[in-house]
Amino acid sequence: MSTHFTFTDFPVLETERFILRKAQENDCLDLFELYSNESVVKYIPLEPFNSVEDTKSEMIWYEKIFEEQSGLRWVIEEPVTKKVIGTCGFLNYEKAHNRLEIGYDLIPSYWKKGIMKETLSTIIHFAFTKMNVNKIEAKVVPENITSIKLLEKLNFNQEGMLREHEFEKGNYVDLVIFSILKREYKNLKYV
């Protein structure tokens, strides 16, 4: 099974309220605001950023996963203000198995406004229709109840617990694994 998406041009996607696009150098301050916030990095394997240099390193990683064809990371931009308020995307893309992992984050002042459901619905559609993946996975720290509820709203199913799966911030952490399959996605009413 071949993919339709070739990783030659970075895709720009639009939702009802936002533009999802490639990170640019002038996004550094907005991304620093995002990743220097302890609430944002609480459940992800990053320490709060201390400088704009940390942000530049993160943006280099976005470029690297795209060049390696192992992932895509979009910034979430408000079209009117041009402010970047978060990111979303895919990593660990395994072409041989047609699966990838979803990830996302958002500045806290934008939480509880339906933004992640809106943006993730768009990139999930992209993954199933343009990348031709069969499975999208999400790995979440069990304490991250908000993220778990979001995945459930997006019709992800819990597969199980990966016990002490990663070593993050000096501790082994469990991860709950969720997924949605292409056939399940096709059967949803909102598709």
At residue 30, the pLDDT reads 98
Residue 170, CA distances (Å) to 33, 41, 116, 174 in order: 24, 14, 29, 13
Structure confidence by residue, pLDDT tens digits, 20-46: 999 999 999 999 999 999 999 999 999
In order, the DSSP letters of 19-49 are EEE---GGGHHHHHHHHT-HHHHTTSS-PPP
pTM for the complete prediction?
Answer: 0.94
Residue 191 has pLDDT above 70, yes or no: no
Q: What value does the mean pLDDT take over residues 145-149?
A: 97
Structure confidence by residue, pLDDT tens digits, 57-100: 999 999 999 999 999 999 999 999 999 999 999 999 999 999 99
At residue 188, the pLDDT reads 83
Which of the 8 DSSP states describes residue 16? S
**Token couple for 99:** 């699966």
- What is the strand order of the sheet 171-181 is part of? 13-14, 19-21, 72-77, 84-94, 99-106, 135-140, 171-181, 157-168
